[in-house]
């Protein structure tokens, strides 16, 4: 049965995020992912308070990165959370967001090596072992925690490109595919299968999540209006190969990028087309969203993550998802 | 007048609606708006137990809503059929948590 996750960006007051987390648990969501950017509220502070006010939903960073947070510190953080909420913590890790890393002059050095080494370190440390790494990016000798936790913490890798997708399947417990459309998910699953095969494992042993931009409302125009700003940012940050796959001209994407960088929001958002919304989000009425989610599940997605904006009104959209979408998949 | 007294003026059949309306009002608080942490934690505690639409839950929500926007809270109470004198007492309501 497909699982459902919800993503929050902790831009809101902490108590609003926590309120929505309680609501998401009550609505039947299985996972809660909170993003990690230095300019929003700290991910682990946000997760700590969520852990205190929820009982069942699994949660974790979605995703942290090893460039601003050393893997031993990530291990410390998720292990500490696991002490508060045993069996409920997951760890999402990726190469991070280029824009915010750029603000602090931090490069995504050797991303594949960084991810491989980070996962190794986090797994060792959270399993109570000494982490030893003579890696290309991280050198660690005998790092271990002074406390132990009962069970391993599943590690999900955030991935979009072929080599990272393959690596995620090779070494992760799950993959967070940064995509919303079957044109991107289908080839991604191919790379995941390759990576799993390389490691001698079945894809079924992995939790493969479509980490989408999502917007639902009974009025499709309201759903669309809410998602346009998010899609603009996605288009602005997408590599040409992805844009071409969806028939989007790089010059149009450049115009949106330019609008965003100069904070000319009208230019940026006004350039978003219905084709872009279709390509980079799951957006529409509940029935339309059910149909789009079903397509992805048929391809092999085992977790569907509803990411920003969720809808024009977050509280009402979570209710809508809980009453009109989840029952189609959870019986 | 205390929050619980005003809550008792809301018809019991409308307590779910009242909880939704007051919650929406509180969630509309602008970014950076400060509510007393004790009050916020109290509301989250009650919400975790699905008890917002109870006398305790509504009292907490009413206090928070009054801090966020007293005028809109008065409008919500009026729509819910709360007597004029009780609505009028909102602004002088005894607050458990201080801003």
How is A152-176 classified by DSSP, letter by letter?
Answer: PPPEEEEE-SHHHHHHHHHH-SEEE
Please compute the mean of the pLDDT values over residues A1-12 and round it to a whole number: 96
Q: Is the pLDDT of residue B98 over 90?
A: no
Please compute the mean of the pLDDT values over residues A245-254 and round it to a whole number: 92
Query: A288: closest CA among A324, A327, A323?
Result: A324
Query: A93: closest CA among A136, A43, A53?
Result: A43
Q: What is the pLDDT of residue A270?
A: 94
Pick from A16, A54, A55: CB nearest B27: A16
Q: What is the pLDDT of residue B2?
A: 82
User: Token pair of A287, please?
Assistant: 């029935």
Among chain B residues, the shortest Cα distance to A25 is held by B48
Contact A18 B24 (CB under 8 A): no
H-run or E-run covering A70: none
Q: Is the pLDDT of residue B88 over 90?
A: no
DSSP state of A312: S
Per-domain boundaries in chain B:
3-88
DSSP state of A138: -
Q: What is the pLDDT of residue B94?
A: 80
Among chain B residues, the shortest Cα distance to A10 is held by B31
Chain A interface, best mutation among B33, B40, B48, B51, by max A CB count within 10 A: B48
Q: Is the pLDDT of residue A31 over 80?
A: yes
Chain B interface, best mutation among A14, A16, A46, by max B CB count within 10 A: A16
Among chain B residues, the shortest Cα distance to A56 is held by B48
Q: What is the pLDDT of residue B85?
A: 78
Q: Is the distance from CB of A7 to CB of A211 less than 8 angstroms?
A: yes
Among chain B residues, the shortest Cα distance to A15 is held by B40
Judge whether A45 is closer than 8 Å to chain B, CB to CB: no
Contact A19 B27 (CB under 8 A): yes
Q: Is the distance from CB of A71 to CB of A122 less than 8 angstroms?
A: yes
ipTM: 0.92
Contact A12 B35 (CB under 8 A): no
Q: How much is the mean pLDDT over chain A?
A: 95
Chain B interface, best mutation among A10, A11, A13, by max B CB count within 10 A: A13
Pick from A11, A22, A314: CB nearest B44: A22
Q: Would you mind telling me the total number of residues written for chain B in this entry?
A: 99
Looking at CATH, the fold of the domain delimited by A3-220+282-330 is given as TIM Barrel (3.20.20)
Q: What is the pLDDT of residue B32?
A: 78
Pick from B31, B32, B47: CB nearest A19: B47
Give residue-wise pLDDT tens across range A198-211.
999 999 999 999 99
Find the DSSP H helices in B1-99: 3-8, 15-27, 37-48, 55-68, 70-79, 84-88
Q: What is the pLDDT of residue B93?
A: 81
Q: Is the distance from CB of A62 to CB of A211 less than 8 angstroms?
A: yes
pLDDT band at A71 (very low <50, low <70, confident <90, very high): very high
Q: Is the pLDDT of residue B99 over 80?
A: no
Q: What is the pLDDT of residue A273?
A: 94
CA distance A72 to A122: 6
Please compute the mean of the pLDDT values over residues B7-34 and round it to a whole number: 92
């Amino acid at each position: 049965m497909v699982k459902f996750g919800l993503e929050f960006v902790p831009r809101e007051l902490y108590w609003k995020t926590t309120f929505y987390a309680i609501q998401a648990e009550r609505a039947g969501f299985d996972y809660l992912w909170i993003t990690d950017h230095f300019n929003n509220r700290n991910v682990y502070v946000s997760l700590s308070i969520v852990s205190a006010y929820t009982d069942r939903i699994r949660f974790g960073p979605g995703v942290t990165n090893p460039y601003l947070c050393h893997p031993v510190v990530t291990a410390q953080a998720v292990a500490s959370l696991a002490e508060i909420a045993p069996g409920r913590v997951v760890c999402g890790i990726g190469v991070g967001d280029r824009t915010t890393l750029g603000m602090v002059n931090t490069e995504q050095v050797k991303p594949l090596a960084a991810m491989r080494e980070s996962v190794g370190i986090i797994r060792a440390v959270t399993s109570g072992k000494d982490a030893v790494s003579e890696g290309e990016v991280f050198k660690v000798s005998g790092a271990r925690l002074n406390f132990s936790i009962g069970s391993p913490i599943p590690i999900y890798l955030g991935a979009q490109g072929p080599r990272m997708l393959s690596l995620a399947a090779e070494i992760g417990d799950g993959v967070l595919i940064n995509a919303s459309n079957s044109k991107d998910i289908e080839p991604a699953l191919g790379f995941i299968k390759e990576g799993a095969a390389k490691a001698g494992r079945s894809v079924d042993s992995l939790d493969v999540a479509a980490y989408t931009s999502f917007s639902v409302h009974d009025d499709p125009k309201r759903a669309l209006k809410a998602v346009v700003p998010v899609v603009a940012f996605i288009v602005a940050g997408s590599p040409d190969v992805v844009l071409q796959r969806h028939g989007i001209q790089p010059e149009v994407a450049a115009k949106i990028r330019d609008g965003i960088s100069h904070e000319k929001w009208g230019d940026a958002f006004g350039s978003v087309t219905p084709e872009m919304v279709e390509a980079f989000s799951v957006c529409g009425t509940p029935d339309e969203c059910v149909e789009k989610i079903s397509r992805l599940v048929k391809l092999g997605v085992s977790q569907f993550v509803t990411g920003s904006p969720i809808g024009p009104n977050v509280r009402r959209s979570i209710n809508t998802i809980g009453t009109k979408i989840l029952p189609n998949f959870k019986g | 007048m205390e929050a619980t007294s005003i809550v008792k003026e809301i018809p019991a059949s409308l307590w779910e609606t009242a909880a939704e309306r007051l919650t929406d009002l509180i969630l509309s608080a602008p970014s950076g708006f400060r509510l007393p942490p004790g009050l916020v934690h109290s509301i989250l505690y009650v919400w975790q137990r699905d008890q917002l639409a109870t006398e305790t839950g509504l009292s907490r929500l009413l206090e928070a809503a009054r801090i966020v926007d007293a005028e809109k809270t008065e409008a919500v109470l009026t729509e819910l059929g709360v007597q004029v004198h009780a609505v009028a007492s909102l602004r002088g309501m005894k607050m458990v948590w201080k801003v």
